Amino acid sequence: MNDRIEHDSMGEVRVPADRYWGAQTERSRNNFKIGAGHEQMPDEIIHAFGILKKAAALTNRMLRPDKMTEEKCRAVCAACDEIIAGTLTEHFPLVVFQTGSGTQSNMNANEVIANRGNELAGAPLLHPNDDVNMSQSSNDTFPTAMHISAVLSIKNTLLPALNVLIATLLRLEKENTDAIKSGRTHLQDATPIRFSQEISGWRASLERDREMIERALPPLCELALGGTAVGTGLNAPLGFDTEVARQVSLLTGIGFCTAENKFHALTSKDELVFAHGALKALAADLWKIANDIRWLASGPRNGLGEVFIPENEPGSSIMPGKVNPTQCEAVTMVAVQVIGNDTAIGLAASQGNFELNVFMPVLAYNFLQSVRLLADVIISFDGHCASGIVANRQKMKDNLNSSLMLVTALNPYIGYENAAKTAKLAYSEGITLREACIRLGFLTSERFDEVFHPEDMV
């Protein structure tokens, strides 16, 4: 492989000739071979850097036209457009476990933009620090990239996926209003419930999760950019922070704004902790829903068997004909990962020592992984499981009719204690509630038939 010589303040470095990164990226690549090839800086962060660097160039063109000339601005923007389009991803080789401020990823972006911009311009116009990083610091660009990537990933992938599953549950609700089944509490038989009512609980949980996630977006739309090194805005022109946030808004179509207190924006990551708490709530509800569905589909003969779910692949290498609720299992595994990520994010956010948090790359990595996994598993679960759920109405009816908790309908007529005696006799002797109630003399056969209507208990 051919190399070229790049230099930084520490001296010369050999860099692969076919890559746009420079000396500082190469130093990081050699010094932090931790999870290389596996735990790379997320693509969403790289995409966000393309947006914020373009916004910064446009803002500097307005506020510092003597330094950010039209020619330089055009070159920066052209290179940034390629980053935003995802065509330069291979030029961002750095891992998550590097400097805790993300400085080297910021310099990776600066170097790639400078070298690619110079190539496009056909002249050595751009310096990675003086031009591409103008009015910025790694300490305000990386937090900004974190917020931009978080908002875009939630709005563009997670919420649309969640809306698909909610729509599926709404359809299933409408299709199952006449299906009455046994309710269950403590994994024990309980009073009847419509299957549509049970589904509505799932649907409402996801709608509430969506609401909480949406409530977390406005704080994430506040950007640290303009705070530079420690929050004072040193080396950034007056008004840079508000204008660069406006430019980010124009580039994304989302209403970003500058953070009111840059000292907070650089050191505290509470907005990401809050937002991930909503993601954890979604994971918890998805876990519950997936468990409900696989319990209801258990069997096919020795379980509850009250719903049919799609059979997607063989379930055993030794038991012929076995089919497992694999999509439900995928949901629960993603939920475990997201809940684990929440712990990592909380711990990382607690490390805002003095003027800077130095756990930002791992925080961003875990946050974006949660969004990505949740969006993917929701689409998979919807397409391969939830959308194909069919009620086993006969099994629901059989289970309902054998439930001793239907005796609850007799409480107003024979009282709680006599109803309990009726249920216990029916259970111990394997007879019906009707037979037990009549044998105990609590109701005549005619009166029992008059008052006992399980379908009215929902």
| Consecutive H or E run containing 69 | none
State how far the Cα of 259 lies from the Cα of 92, in Å rounded to an integer: 28
**153 noted as active-site residue:** no
Helix (H), strand (E) counts: the chain: 17, 10
Instruction: List Cα–Cα distances, 361 to 26, 116, 124, in angstroms.
Output: 18, 25, 31
Q: Which residues of 378-398 are buried (b: 16+ CB within 10 A; e: fewer)?
A: bbbbbebbbbbbebbbebbbe
User: 3-state class of 144 per DSSP?
Assistant: helix
Q: Which of 9, 38, 186, 428 is catalytic?
A: 186
Q: Are 258 and 222 in contact (CB under 8 A)?
A: yes
Residues in CB range of 246: below 8 A, 6 or more apart: none
Could you give the CA distance from residue 72 to residue 61 in angstroms, rounded to a whole number? 9
Residues β-bridged to residue 258? 223
**Nearest CA-CA partner of 181 in 170, 193, 190, 191:** 193
Alpha carbons within 13 angstroms on the beta-carbon side of residue 99 total 17
For residues 357 and 335, the answer to whether their CB atoms sit within 8 Å is: no
186 counts as catalytic = yes
Q: Of all helices (H) and strands (E), which one includes residue 353?
A: strand 352-353
Alpha carbon of 382 to those of 168, 174, 298, 325, 368: distances in Å?
7, 17, 19, 13, 21
d(CA 134, CA 128): 9
Task: Please give the Cα distance from 211 to 168 (Å, whole number).
Answer: 18
**Cα–Cα distance for residue pair 312/305, rounded to 1 Å:** 17
Tell me phi and psi for residue 223, to 5 degrees: -110, 140
Catalytic residue among 47, 196, 249, 316: 316
Which residues are known catalytic residues? 186, 316
